[in-house]
């Protein structure tokens, strides 16, 4: 099933999928495919980095529960707050000092929803779950990232690409491109 095109609808679908993974994570201290991160750290990353990104452009998200206290409550509050922005202020101009000016919906979709989508794989692997990632979206992301590979690697946000066969499933190719070993499993 393909993800919706509209940013608010796509975020709702991706956040719902991530929320399913959060709800079913059996061990918050389990290692994740991100070196040095646990399952709790994956959720913490998503809940903690994006408010600062938005604040740099003058948009505030309401504070909620902490991931340390309750990962599920923190995720639910955060995802609902982001969804509220997308539904109530999608066309608002958003200017960020590093990424320029675009609508708030475009900024959320490009920088945040995509991150939630990719980290869904990490949380799924940490919890021994199926990430249930849309293959068409994975293919679009991969094709969009290839031309800017040097910039992405230079940002420090992506590890070295992992070699996979050209005919590997597209989600595996995307994860390998961003520096994950598609064969990684929690021990």
Q: How do residues 100-147 score in pLDDT, each as one tens digit?
A: 999 999 999 999 999 999 999 999 999 999 999 999 999 999 999 999
Q: Which of 147, 178, 144 is nearest to 161 (CA)?
A: 178
Q: What is the average per-residue pLDDT within 10-19?
A: 97
Dihedral angle computed from the Cα positions of residues 160, 164, 168 and 170, in that order, rounded to the nearest 10 degrees: 10
Report angle CA 165, 169, 173 to the nearest 5 degrees: 60
CATH of 8-133, one of 1.10.600.10, 3.40.50.300, 3.30.70.2860, 1.20.120.450: 1.20.120.450
Give the number of C-alpha atoms closer than 13 A to the C-alpha of residue 47, restricted to the C-beta side.
Answer: 28
Per residue in 134-187, pLDDT (tens digit) is: 999 999 999 999 998 888 888 888 889 999 999 999 999 999 999 999 999 887
Q: Which of 100, 82, 102, 60 is nearest to 8 (CA)?
A: 82
pTM: 0.94
9: Cα separation from own chain's centroid: 15
pLDDT band with cut points at 50, 70 and 90 for residue 1 = low
pLDDT band with cut points at 50, 70 and 90 for residue 99 = confident
pLDDT recorded at residue 152: 85
Burial of 78 (0-12, 13-18, 19+ CB in 10 A): buried
Q: What average pLDDT does the chain have?
A: 94
Instruction: Give the tokens for residue 101.
Output: 């000016």
In the predicted structure, residue 47 carries a pLDDT above the cut 90:
yes
Q: What is the average per-residue pLDDT within 46-70?
A: 96
Evaluate whether 39 touches 138 at the Cβ level (below 8 Å). no
Domain boundaries, the chain: 8-133, 134-181
Instruction: Give the tokens for residue 5.
Output: 């095109």
């Amino acid at each position: 099933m393909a993800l919706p095109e509209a940013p608010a609808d796509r975020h709702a679908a991706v956040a719902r999928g991530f929320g399913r993974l959060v709800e079913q994570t059996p061990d918050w201290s389990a290692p994740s495919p991100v070196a040095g991160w646990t399952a709790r750290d994956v959720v913490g990353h998503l809940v903690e980095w994006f408010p600062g990104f938005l604040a740099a452009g003058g948009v505030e998200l309401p504070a909620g529960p902490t991931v340390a206290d309750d990962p599920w409550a923190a995720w639910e509050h955060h995802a609902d707050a982001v969804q509220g922005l997308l539904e109530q202020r999608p066309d608002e101009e958003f200017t960020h000092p590093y990424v320029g000016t675009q609508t708030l919906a475009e900024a959320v979709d490009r920088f945040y929803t995509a991150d939630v989508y990719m980290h869904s794989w990490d949380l799924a692997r940490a919890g021994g779950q199926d990430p249930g990632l849309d293959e068409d979206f994975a293919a679009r992301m991969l094709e969009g990232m290839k031309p800017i590979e040097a910039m992405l690697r230079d940002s420090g946000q992506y590890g070295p690409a992992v070699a996979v066969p050209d005919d590997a499933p597209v989600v595996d190719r995307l994860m390998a491109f961003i520096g994950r070993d598609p064969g990684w499993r929690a021990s």
